[in-house]
Structure 1
Amino acid sequence: MKKLIRITLMSLIIVALAACSTDSKGDDDSDVVVVYTPHPSETVNLLVEEFQSTTGITAQIVAAGTGELLNRIAAESENPLADVMWGGGAESLASFNDYFQAYKPTGLDQVSSQFYDANNLWTGESPLPMVIMYNKNLVAEEDVPKSWADVLDPKFKGQIAMADPGSSGSAYTILVTMITAHGGDTDAGWQFATDFYKNLDGKIQSSSGNVYVGVADGEYAIGLTLEKEAIRYVQAGADVGIVYPEDGTSAVPDAVAIIKDAKNLTNAQKFVEFATSKATQELMVAELGRRPVRNDVEIDESLPPLESIKLVDYDFDWAANHKPEIVQRWQQIVIEN
């Protein structure tokens, strides 16, 4: 059945890509597009295969953490080596807006304005609620944390998986979300961040992928991660559960953007069209269980409606415009504790 669904979706993707404007400046004879992405291999393999088969364009993938890739884009700005940044929290991409160029994909009228840049420098792919994932074999039912505050319980010291906010876009979003839920950019908010770090007992993961894998494998009792990754383990029947913190979480989208002065601009535009098309969004829901950013695509029935999840008043501008200072302050907490 899934194969039939994918064949149908592929035909719709071809139609969507045909609508992409071809009057752009770029190498129209190019048959490649260079894509930087922090997406996990399951997402990359599925969608790159679809993109290549529907366009005939070869997507050359460079995979790494969001922070590393964005810094690389900045360092290469005089001679860009990539065409597209695909994935990573939107506020992380927004903090590097100077290195992207505007492109308005078709169908943007089906996307809420909170999920794309006002100047079309990036477009969201999927809202990403941040969750607490726990291993049912290591956490008794009565001990399951219900909030970010519960994660500070001493019984979880050294048993929490969390990636480095300086290199992981999702970890950065989680840090800002927790701070926001407990006072914002105030002494109280940063004290919460300090207390949280102390409960990590010095253990910080090198990548966001290590978080959900570590919890699923029983290396850690709980982990702070993205819904889209944790839910796959739940749907597969693993001994894990997820919690939407009752003190509020966030649902910042991951995003896709064209790098300024991209050498394969036409193909970069086709990639953005592909990533944001209705057909690709439906494919991500069907195959990956991800939330669509488009209003004309239904979510997977196993996910709670976004409206039912308590969200903090996430200050996107603060998170995007002050990322270096926020990361530096976090790093200072790490050094001092």
Structure 2
Amino acid sequence: MRKRWLTALVCVILLSGILTACGSSSGSAGSGGTDAESKSSGKLTIYSPNAAEINNPIIKEFQDRTGISVDLISGGTGELLKRVEAEANNPLGDIFWAGGADSLASFAEYFEPYSTSEKSSIFPGYLDPANNWTPFNALPMVITYNKELVPEDEVPQSWEDLLDPKWKGQIAFADPAKSGSSYTQLVTMLTAFGKDDEQGWEYVKQLVDNMDGKILSGSSLVQRAVPDGEFALGITLEDAALRYMEGGAQIGIIYPSEGTSAVPDGAAIIKGTKNLEEAKQFMDFLVGKDVQELVQSEFKRRSVRDDVNPVEGLPQTVDIELVEYDFEWASDNKEAIIERFTNIMMGIE
């Protein structure tokens, strides 16, 4: 996949003549720039929970265009955000890339506000008014199922269907304390059943009971567990399921009838970075049109730009039933929500 991504990008460069290498701090990496002689000799340290198949080709292309070297530190969203917090007095990273925007918002005090040069081309609904983070892709949350383990006439169509006793111990879900996407999924389910009263938490209690004490340590494990047949069902990201389907995995996806969410993941500049101009270049690069087009075509992630054509064969975002996801509530109450979920998992509540 990495080879295909880079090959496609080279074709865009050669055939369209739109893209040029850029390296000066005054130019946008996603939109064009200076020639090879002007490449920067700077560096960046990026913290990212993204899968390697997404990170590696994008970072390589950024390095090739700009001459900026990148040191990538991988881990779970929660783990890396805690690292940013712990290093606040002496930041060792420059960029936090990916992770649900609601998770980034809850750590906004550790990020440097930046308004990307590509802002005018991004859907306004995906932007952070305070510019503490920049959206990267919109990520619908879905239920995925293994077609070899789930008969077609028994495929769940809703969050409610996950409570059926026949799925006890067969539902893959990641720990929201460690996974940003899992936290977004948890808030989505709470919202679907009533986050402002106990109905949402009653649903979560029943779901945890039907999970039979099984919880995975990261979202990537959920993504693999269903295609591998370790679990019949999983709660995951749309793009992850689509990539496995494209690779031949016998799985399917469902957009729950009660509604789901399409919260963007994002990127943010770590406050106190020693490489601010290089960090700005990387932010602009991520939301540049060419990168957004190729991330969408190669990795099935929905672009946040208004000038990128939708992915063929997928329902449009406007056609998916969405809950009224309260971004501020999810951000402000993250610690309490995770604590209560953990207590439920431990049988304390």
Give 1:246's match in structure 2, choosing from 239, 246, 257: 257
| Residue 202 of structure 1, aligned match among 206, 213, 216 | 213
Whole-angstrom distance in 1 between the partners of 2:19 and 2:343: 47
Contact 1:126–1:255 under 8 Å retained in 2: yes
Match of 1:307 in 2: 318
Distance 1:97 1:3, change over 3 A: closer
- The counterpart of 2:142, out of the listed 111, 131, 135, is 131
Q: CA deviation at 1:8?
A: 4.2
Which of 162, 176, 179 is matched with 1:151 structurally? 162
Give the distance between the partners of 2:234 and 2:165, measured in 1 at CA: 15
Please list, as runs of the form range in 1=range in 2, the aligned pairs for 1:101-120 lying within 5 A after superposition: 101-120=112-131
How far apart are the structure 1 equivalents of 2:279 and 2:61?
15
Q: Is the 8 A contact 1:13 1:277 kept in 2?
A: no
> Quick one: distance in 1 between partners of 2:265 and 2:68?
23
Q: Does 1:57 align with 2:68?
A: yes
The separation in 1 between residues aligned to 2:226 and 2:190, in whole angstroms, is 23
Answering whether residue 102 of structure 2 is matched by residue 91 of structure 1, we say yes
Quote the residue 2:88 is aligned against: 77
Q: Which moved more, 1:10-19 or 1:177-186?
A: 10-19
Number of equivalent positions: 332
Distance 2:115 2:45 in 1: 20
Letter in structure 2 aligned against 1:284: V
> What amino acid does structure 2 have at the position aligned with 1:290?
R
For 2:74, give the aligned amino acid: A
SS of aligned partner of 2:302: coil
Identity of aligned residues (%): 46
Equivalent of residue 6 in structure 1, options 6, 9, 16: 9
2-11 or 131-140, which moves further after superposition? 2-11
C-alpha displacement of 1:101: 0.7
Could you list the per-position Cα deviations for residues 170-229 of structure 1 after superposition, in whole angstroms to 9, with x for gaps in the alignment?
Answer: 100000000100111311111111111111101000110000100000010000000010
- Alpha carbons of structure 1 residues 46 and 85: separation in structure 2 relative to 1, 3 Å: same
Q: Which residue of 1 aligns with 2:330?
A: 319
2:36 is matched with none
Shift of residue 17 of structure 1?
6.4
Aligned partner (choices 35, 43, 50) of residue 39 of structure 1: 50
Q: Which residue of 2 aligns with 1:25?
A: none
- What's the TM-score, normalizing by structure 1? 0.94
Note if contact 1:9-1:283 (Cα within 8 Å) is conserved in structure 2: no
Using the alignment, how far apart are the partners of 2:233 and 2:196 within structure 1? 26
Q: Out of 212, 216, 227, which is 2:223 matched to?
A: 212
Q: Residue 187 and residue 16 in structure 1: after superposition, are their counterparts in 2 closer, same or farther (change >3 A)?
A: farther
Structure 2 segments unaligned to the other structure (5+ residues): 34-38
Evaluate the alpha carbon distance shift between residue 16 and residue 114 of structure 1 in structure 2; reply closer, same or farther with a 3 A threshold: farther
Structure 2: distance between partners of 1:274 and 1:3: 15
Q: 1:15, CA displacement in angstroms?
A: 6.1
Equivalent of 1:235, from 246, 255, 278? Answer: 246
User: What does the per-residue CA deviation read over 1:292-311, in whole Å, with 9 as the maximum and x for residues that have no partner?
Assistant: 11010112202211011000
For 1:171, the aligned partner's letter is S
TM-score (norm. length: structure 2): 0.91
Distance 1:17 1:153, change over 3 A: farther
State the alpha-carbon separation in 1 of the partners of residues 22 and 329 from structure 2: 35
Cα distance in 2 for partners of 1:185, 1:71 equals 28
Contact 1:125 1:256 survives alignment (8 Å):
yes
Matches of 1:160 and 1:47, distance apart in 2? 32
CA shift, 1:5, in A, is 3.1
- Over 3 Å counting, the alpha-carbon distance change for 1:328 and 1:15 in structure 2 is same
Which string of whole-angstrom CA distances, capped at 9 and with x for unpartnered residues, describes residues 247-286 of structure 1? 1000000001100010111111111011111111011022
Given that 1:215 and 1:222 are in contact with CA atoms closer than 8 Å, whether structure 2 keeps it comes out as: yes
